[in-house]
Chain A
């Protein structure tokens, strides 16, 4: 057996052991807090609740709602953010003028404006989408500007020396060159969008997975199970974005980044 195979086996074994240890620790922890204080539910209970939940239609409905809200919000961010970013990056005056506003809006804590939106639009998915757009558009905007401004001047000079018209320069040089930056923005916005959707559902009662979690506060088993589902959803989203990124940016070496 080669060292590589031994290593793979060790890693696999290690992971299984860790999983087991975590589950066991959870189980014990859950059994401890079982007096009058409502503590953590036991791992076994949660596992059962999870399996049960997967069979209900309510879970899939709420899951669908969360996914739709996030997806539409993210899509709108792309549609608004990228063109706006391209526009603002076109001239230094525009870039500098907008910088303060973008910076300020970017750093407003995303949830701060939930009450306002809640007031105006009520606890609806529409409100959540509006929230997502208001908050998640900034990273995409910022990264687009960043990407365009960072296009290698040599590339642009070469394109101009070949007498390529403006739109061709944009499509063949600027767009691909700024893609890695834009994708970083998409990654950030995607995570943020999901976070906001769940936040809006949890806090404002917008229909979706977060609302289900809110409603099951008195049933800890179900609540924990739903939280796990949320975690899996998050992972799925991260993988999806990464997969798309790898396809579109195959020409650009992106080291495996574990950063947000």
Chain B
């Protein structure tokens, strides 16, 4: 019975996407529109580009920049959030500044960051880091602050020292909130990765797409868009796995129909 409903669920989930792909494929086969070439051609461009030299030339730099940027954001965000949480006065003082920096549309700062860090990949990494650090920082701060006070009281009564307090109490306790922040940062990071490459760059998927658009290589452009979509989806999925591992101590709540909020 249970296996049956699992299979049924899978079918329910997949019929629509499969249908869409099939309809798109056959519907566009005879397309004459310059903007919407046949899916077969897009697929050919996709294979040519991304299973070929394009992978090394564009995909690798993009993803490496993303990885570095997010890593920096993670370290700085969690570290700063932790420090601010441990010194409440500093957190109060910093609050309006944090709100301001968080509210700046991350793309608006791109030109400024490129002036400071140059237009090479350092600039990309810096842009990603700058945009991605705020959700992590603020969520770490918030997460630590909302740890049940009685837990911190108990830790104090047992004289648990700071290094142990951080690794065994504060960070795990804040982890549910931190993972929400990381999820947001991941999305922002990808946006900035693409945006910064479209704005100014010599390599990268975003760069590829905008150049394709400018040179009217429409199929190539579509192949780039598809790739970005797939990367976005896979990253999200992968992060879901990581998140479940990070929060493995939480009791399982069973809602098969639950849609994971953003």
Contact = CB atoms under 8 A, between A and B. Distances in A.
Interface stretch (B46-54, B106-114, B149-157): B106-114
A119 B100 contact: no
B141 A18 contact: no
A14 B89 contact: yes
Given A11-B89, A227-B112, A231-B108, A106 B262 contact: yes
B17 A195 contact: no
B233 A213 contact: no
A113 B225 contact: yes
Q: Bin the interface of chain A by size.
A: 35 or more
Nearest to A15: B93
A258 B212 CA distance: 39
B115 A38 contact: yes
Interface string A108-122: 111111111011100
A259 to B, nearest CB: 5
Interface in A71-117: 92-93, 95-104, 106-116
Given A97-B16, A259-B177, A103 B261 contact: no
What is the predominant secondary structure among interface residues of chain B facing chain A? helix
B209 A143 contact: no
Most-contacted residue by chain B among A38, A100, A101 (CB, 10 A): A100
A134 to B, nearest CB: 12
Given A227-B104, A234-B103, A112 B209 contact: yes
Contacts of A170: none
Given A10-B89, A18-B97, A107-B236, A260 B184 contact: yes
B137 to A, nearest CB: 9
Contacts of B213: 115-116, 118-119
Interface string B175-208: 0010011001001101101110011000000100
A15 B96 CA distance: 8
B127 to A, nearest CB: 12
A195 B224 contact: no
A92 B221 CA distance: 36
B142 interface: yes
A64 interface: no
9 contacts: A14-B92, A19-B97, A109-B232, A142-B262, A203-B198, A230-B104, A231-B103, A234-B104, A259-B139
Interface of B: 9, 12-17, 20, 35, 89-90, 92-94, 96-112, 115-116, 134-135, 138-139, 141-142, 146, 177, 180-181, 184, 187-188, 190-191, 193-195, 198-199, 206, 209-210, 212-213, 218, 221-222, 224-225, 228-229, 231-233, 235-236, 257-259, 261-262
Which 4 A-B pairs rank lowest in CB-CB distance, beginning with the nearest? A115-B213, A234-B103, A14-B93, A231-B104
